[in-house]
Amino acid sequence: MPLSAYDLTDRTAFVTGAAGGIGRASAVLLAEAGAVVHCADRDEGGLRETRELIVKAGGTAYIHPLDVTDRARLRAAVRGAGRVDILAAIAGIMHFSAVLDTEDADLDRILAVNFKGVLYACQEAARIMIENGTPGSIITMASGAVDSAGAGLLCYSASKAAVVQLTRTLATELGPHSIRVNAVAPGWVRTPMTERHEADQQQRIESTMVRLSPLGRVGAPEDIAHTVLHLASDASSFTTGQILRPNGGVAMPW
């Protein structure tokens, strides 16, 4: 496959969760590959920083401050892009609670962001791709947590398992329209989201990952962004309905 397969010139990408972490790294990398990138997140300051990084690198970016749980605003933003060739639905949150301590509010919020927000973005992007009659790539963000039962991760794991099933179902339904749908299931990645945990909890998780990974380290946002780029590009033109696992060689061994 020639390197030109990764050229995204004349394509438009819409990235949620683009204010930091994996979302920012993916938005920047897609722009470096030539795509015009629309960046969405509820953190407007972070979005402006992402746009500045893209513009400084010679790319083009637009920002959409919004919460992905607001279906109407998200739909308007995706529709406002005019054309969407690539969707990277990356926005997500993490929550730790034991099963017996889980409240309705915990479950409702994480499902709203991690599942419904992904569903809403996928629906609108797919509609635009079908209307324009153009092939497209939809990338969702799952997690290595779907491969194991992690204590305290019921809400998070359930939401990401739902994303996996959404991805597989959409791949089946959208394949006839030449729209590919794949998920990325990262291992532990050091991002602003994971750094919000208690220091001792974060250190415990990271030390476990370093010990069990053949590579001897945890992930960086850029590691995952390159997987997103691969799925967005023609280099993965025969890949759909798949769950790619950039996890340093291990699943989430809680």
Q: At what angle do helices 21-32 and 221-232 cross, to 10 degrees?
A: 50
Please give the angle made by the CA atoms of 242, 248 and 251, to the nearest 5 degrees: 60
Active site residue 156: yes
> In this structure, are residues 234 and 35 in contact, taking their beta carbons and an 8 Å threshold?
no
**What does DSSP assign to residue 189?**
B
Q: Pinpoint the alpha helices (H) of 133-186.
A: 154-174
6-41 burial code (b ≥16 CB/10 A, e <16): bebeebbbbbbbbbbbbbbbbbbbbbbbebbbbbbb
Residue 13 phi/psi, 5° resolution? -115, 145
* Cα–Cα distance for residue pair 227/222, rounded to 1 Å: 9
Structure tokens at 22: 């994996």
Which positions are catalytic? 156
